[in-house]
Amino acid sequence: MLGTAQDFLSVALAILAVAGTTALVGGTAAWLLGGAVAALVFLVAEAAETLVAEVVQKRRGDPDAEEERT
């Protein structure tokens, strides 16, 4: 639950990445690279947020945080 509560951060980082990409690269290339960069930044940020949330939950003593997911 804590990991999904932090989703606004990964979305904001993806939007900033697109803005940075379009500032550096113009034209049609910006459309192509912008989508790829946004997806990559979102996935990396989301994974980091989930990892941080799991560590926080483990430190709080949440027994469900120790479960392995398959």
Q: pLDDT, tens digit, for every residue of 20-67?
A: 999 999 888 898 999 999 999 999 998 998 888 888 888 888 766 665
Residue 14 lies in a domain: yes
Residue span of the structural domain in which 52 resides: 2-60
pLDDT at 18: 94
Residue 67 lies in a domain: no
Residue 70 lies in a domain: no
Task: Judge contact between 36 and 28, C-beta under 8 A.
Answer: no
Number of H helices, E strands in the chain: 3, 0
Residue 69 lies in a domain: no
Looking at the predicted structure, is the pLDDT value of residue 69 above 80? no
Residue 22 lies in a domain: yes
Nearest CA to 1 out of 57, 58, 48 is that of 57
Question: pLDDT grade, residue 12 (50/70/90)?
Answer: very high
Residue 68 lies in a domain: no
Domains of the chain: total: 1
* pTM for the full predicted model: 0.73
State the helix-helix crossing angle for 28-60 and 7-24, rounded to 10 degrees: 150
pLDDT at 2: 57
Residue 52 lies in a domain: yes
